[in-house]
């Protein structure tokens, strides 16, 4: 699945819920929370995390862990605010798209009748 344009929100959302977490755990949480839809490679996630850090939305520090040290990422205050704004924009976008294309077809599309 193509996540271009949405990766920042996905990462910020996972960090908001998971708290400080190392990159691999972030990737695993994203995969788990999406039911495997977002099984993203490190080469996609780490550059995005570094960009978010440069933009002041994420902070990181090195943590000593057995058997090796690892970088732990956490949201900054600006990151929490940006997540809220992006989440609002995303929900507005989804509502608009659903208004144009209609509800999702399938067993959950309408009321259940006996």
pLDDT of residue 19: 85
User: Could you tell me which residues come within 8 angstroms of residue 103 by beta carbon, excluding any fewer than 6 positions away?
Assistant: 109, 110
Which tens digits make up the pLDDT trace of 86-100?
999 999 999 999 999
Give me the helix-helix angle, 42-54 and 23-33, nearest 10°. 110
pLDDT of residue 10: 95
Give the Cα separation of 3 and 12 in Å (integer).
Answer: 14
Domain extent for 33: 7-89
In a domain, 97, yes or no: no
- Count of alpha carbons within 13 angstroms of residue 50, beta-carbon side: 6
What CATH number is attached to the domain comprising 22? 1.10.10.10
In a domain, 108, yes or no: no
Mean pLDDT over residues 11-28, rounded? 93
Kindly tell me if the per-residue pLDDT of 114 is higher than 50: no
Kindly tell me if the per-residue pLDDT of 112 is higher than 60: no
Mean pLDDT over residues 1-25, rounded? 87
In a domain, 16, yes or no: yes
Please state the domain count of the chain: 1
């Amino acid at each position: 699945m193509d996540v271009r344009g949405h990766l920042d929100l996905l990462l910020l959302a996972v960090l908001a819920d998971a708290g400080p977490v190392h990159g691999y755990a972030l990737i695993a949480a994203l995969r788990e929370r999406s039911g495997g839809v977002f099984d993203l490679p490190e080469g996609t996630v780490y550059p995005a995390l570094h960009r978010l850090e440069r933009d002041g939305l994420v902070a990181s520090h090195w943590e000593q862990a057995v058997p090796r040290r690892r970088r732990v990422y956490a949201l900054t205050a600006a990151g929490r605010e940006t997540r809220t704004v992006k989440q609002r924009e995303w929900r507005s976008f989804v509502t608009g798209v659903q208004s144009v294309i209609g509800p999702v077809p399938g067993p959950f599309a309408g009321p259940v009748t006996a």
